[in-house]
Chain A
Amino acid sequence: MTEGKFKIFDAHLHVHGIFLNPEESLIDYMDRHGVDKAVITTTNRAASSKLYAGKDDSKSNEEHGEKINEAFKKFKNMIPKTQLDHQDVIEISRKAPGRFYKFFWFNPRIKQDMEELNYKILEDHFKKGFCGVKIHSGIHLIKVPRDVIKLASFMQEFNEKIPLFIHSTPKTMYFAGVSTKNIARLADEFPKLRIIVGHAGFAMEYAIECGLNLKRHANIYFETSCSSPYSIFSLVKSLRGQERILFGSDAPITNPIQIEIDKITCLPLTTEQKQDILYNNISKLLN
């Protein structure tokens, strides 16, 4: 194996996003960046920057500010009340079945009278070959572990090996966030549940937190998208090894794939360590 010729298995890819060229299929996009395989899920099309962006110079800052405030109200209303449709994931996967591992983006905050229906949807997707679940704490305002207990139990009962991907969210004006302590409590309660912490590095403090609070949990894995290179490096060091670090891009929504790959290849690690992060670790976890 030589530096620069890595096999790539992206642990966090979406079907759609602005970094995909208009004429390009997702498979072509993967080929262009040398990505062999990917965990794939759908896209929440309601969460688009078009809602807020596009400053009209003919308008005053006051008017533009009002437009942004309106966009926030609109966004809240556009968040799907039901589960997201994953037909796009199914169709893309059919075109190259050996290359995609389908994850279902699930909202566990469901009214009690709708629970049965929603879990039936999830079960049906497991039967269609979906092999993991993603939750987005920031969009669906999910409190961990409280809002995830039923989901985790359901997943464990269906198949203990199905991983749960948790989107990390720091505290914001509208949400208390998901802390590493919250995730540790979930891992304590479900010691066999394979948990993937998404965006595990961010701007350094979160990586330190992950190293401090989660390293004793062997069932927790750390995905690298949207993290600074030093955060990823510090995770490798604080976990005393790269075995639980999974390369992910969050492309083509938030990042282009290449930048996220570069964050791994630029690290002062051995070629073998990089290959583990870029391919082997997620491959082992899912196979």
Chain B
Amino acid sequence: MIDGYKIYDAHMHVIGRFKKRDESLPQFLDRFGIDRAVITSLNQAANLSTILKSEGNENQSDFIESFVPKGQYDHEIVRQAVKEHPDRLTGIFWFNPRIATEEDWKLLKKYIKEYDFKAVKTQCYLDLLEVPEDLYSIAEFCIEHDVPLFLHSGSGFFFQKSVRANDYYSLFKKYKELKCVILHAAFTMEYCINCLKYFNKLENIYFETSVSIPYGIMTLIKAMGSHRVLYGSDAPAATSPDIEIDKIRILNLDNQTLENVFYNNISRLFGEEP
């Protein structure tokens, strides 16, 4: 709890550089006053040692291929953490639908049904997804199992078609019942403005704040309403949570808005009582 507000972080990873080596996840949450967190796996191939191998040569698409796992990400550590701390952690499954086999779909279903994972995440760049085409199958899965789909935003690598808000809009038009969370929704002001343009009438679309520009977060809250914006940090992989929390604290928002953004919205999205 911070300043009297409960904190439910909508975007965390099970490991990362900004967590101390000997620190458990609940200890990490305690250090920053975070009550609950959504956690998922991490693409550990996309790390600095891989980047450092490159000398900026021309064969970079092969280099990036080395980031891309040949199978699904292992979520065993996530499952164990959630099992040990169900009052603090909510699991979501980072899934790559492009390469999914029948066994992978069964595994995903198992995590949702048996291990109570609450959502699915996709990362279009590291997993080389074509948007919207590669997302149709996972969108149908999410609708069938009534779980939200978390979609990564970013700038994309030079050899990829950049995913724009209108690409995601094509997906939402096709699957109107799909509940989605746009991650890093204001990572640039340009992207934030694109979100306003395309998603303003789509009440099933939510906006997560990690790695976002504070001015963009404020714009999203004012334009979309405080019920559609979710605090997230992307910690401990990308940042330290206090920095991401401060981005919202400094916006001079009213109590109800802070309660919604910091806790209630993600809690309601998962059908929990805030």
Residues of A within 8 A of B (CB): 17-19, 47, 49, 52-55, 61-62, 64-65, 68-69, 72, 138, 168-173, 175, 177, 179-181, 199, 202-206, 208-209, 211-216, 226, 228-231, 233-234, 237-238, 250, 253-256, 258-259, 262-263, 266, 268
A64-B250 contact, Cβ under 8 Å, with A229-B239, A253-B215 = no
Additional A-B contacts beyond A205-B157, A231-B238, A233-B17 (11; CB < 8 A) = A61-B201, A173-B166, A203-B154, A204-B154, A208-B51, A215-B56, A216-B56, A230-B16, A238-B54, A256-B214, A262-B243
Does B261 make an interface contact (CB < 8 A)?
A: no
Within 8 Å by CB of A19, from B125, B222, B250, lies B250
Distance between Cα atoms of A18 and B218 in the complex (Å) = 10
Chain A, Cβ-Cβ closest to B215: A254
Which among B157, B191, B219, B234 is the interface contact of A49 at CB below 8 angstroms? B219
State whether B215 touches A49 (Cβ < 8 A).
Answer: yes
Q: Are B239 and A230 in contact (CB under 8 A)?
A: yes
Q: How far is the CB of B186 from chain A (nearest CB, A)?
A: 9
Inter-chain contact B239/A53, CB cutoff 8 Å: no
Q: Which of A53, A62, A211, A259 contacts B51 (CB 8 A)?
A: A211
> Does A254 lie within 8 Å of B214, measured CB to CB?
yes
A-contact 0/1 string along B199-233, CB 8 Å cutoff: 01101000000010111101100111100000000
- Assuming the contacts A202-B154, A234-B48, A234-B51, asked whether A170 and B162 have C-beta atoms less than 8 A apart, the reply is yes
Q: Measured between C-beta atoms, what is the minimum distance from A41 to chain B in Å?
A: 16
For residue A169, which residues in chain B have a CB less than 8 angstroms away from its CB? 188, 190
Selected from B56, B164, B200, B213, the residue in CB contact (under 8 A) with A65 is B200
Query: Complex Cα distance A204/B155, Å?
Result: 8
Scan residues 216-265 of chain B and give those whose CB is less than 8 A from a CB of chain A.
216, 218-219, 222-225, 234, 237-240, 242-243, 246-247, 250
Contact status B237-A206, CB under 8 Å: no
Question: B153 within 8 Å of A by Cβ?
Answer: yes
**Distance between B224 CB and nearest chain A CB, rounded to angstroms:** 7
**How far is it, in angstroms, between the C-alpha of A208 and the C-alpha of B66 when the chains are bound?**
13
Taken together as a complex, chains A and B put the C-alpha atoms of A167 and B198 apart, in Å, by 24
Q: Which range holds the interface residue count of chain B?
A: 35 or more
- Tell whether, in the assembled complex, residue A18 and residue B48 are in contact, meaning their CB atoms are under 8 Å apart: no
Task: Report the bound CA distance from A230 to B239 in whole Å.
Answer: 6
A-B contact pairs, 18 of them (CB 8 A): A54-B223, A61-B201, A61-B203, A68-B223, A171-B164, A172-B194, A199-B188, A204-B154, A205-B154, A205-B157, A226-B188, A229-B239, A230-B17, A230-B238, A254-B215, A256-B250, A262-B246, A266-B18
Contacts of A216 in B (CB 8 A): 56
Q: Which residue of B lies closest to A177 (CB)?
A: B162
Report how far A107 CA is from B123 CA in the complex, Å.
Answer: 35
Q: Is the CB of B154 within 8 A of A238?
A: no
> Would you give the shortest CB distance from B125 to chain A, in whole angstroms?
5
Interface residues, chain B, with chain A CB atoms under 8 Å away: 16-18, 46, 48, 51-52, 54, 56, 60, 63, 125, 153-158, 162, 164-166, 184, 187-191, 193-194, 196-198, 200-201, 203, 211, 213-216, 218-219, 222-225, 234, 237-240, 242-243, 246-247, 250
Q: How distant is the Cα of A61 from the Cα of B16 in the complex, in angstroms?
A: 39
A214 to B55, CA, bound (A): 10
User: Once the chains bind, are B125 and A205 in contact (CB under 8 Å)?
Assistant: yes
Whether the pair A254, B162 counts as a contact (CB closer than 8 A) is no
Report the Cα distance A269→B199, complex, angstroms. Answer: 40
Q: List, in ascending order, chain A residues with CB within 8 A of B216's CB.
A: 254
Nearest-CB distance from A283 to chain B (Å)?
Answer: 25
B191 close to A54 (CB less than 8 A): no
Contacts of A171 in B (CB 8 A): 155-156, 162, 164
Residues of A within 8 A of B153 (CB): 203
Tell me the bound Cα distance from A231 to B189 in angstroms. Answer: 18
* Residue numbers in A under 8 Å from B219 (CB-CB): 49, 52-53
- Min Cβ gap B1→A in Å is 21
Report B-chain residues with C-beta under 8 Å of the C-beta of A258.
Answer: 246
Given A138-B190, A229-B18, A266-B18, CB of A65 within 8 Å of CB of B201: yes
**Complex formed: what's the CA distance from A140 to B181 in Å?**
30
Across the two chains, which residue of chain A brings its CB closest to B197? A72
Residue in A19, A64, A205 whose beta carbon sits within 8 Å of that of B156 in the complex: A205
A255 touches B215 (CB 8 A): yes
Contact A52-B18, Cβ < 8 Å, known A64-B200, A238-B51 = no
Q: Are A259 and B243 in contact (CB under 8 A)?
A: yes
| Residue among B63, B158, B240, B250 with most chain A CB within 10 A | B158
- A179–B159 Cα gap in the complex (Å)? 10
Taken together as a complex, chains A and B put the C-alpha atoms of A62 and B201 apart, in Å, by: 6
Complex CA gap A115/B89 in Å reads 59
Given known pairs A68-B200, A199-B188, the reply for A228 and B222 (CB within 8 Å) is no
- In the complex, the answer to whether B214 meets A19 with C-beta atoms within 8 Å is yes
Closest Cβ neighbor of A17 among chain B residues: B215
Q: Which chain A residues border B63 with CB–CB below 8 Å?
A: 212
A203 partner residues in chain B, CB cutoff 8 A: 153-155, 184, 187, 211, 238
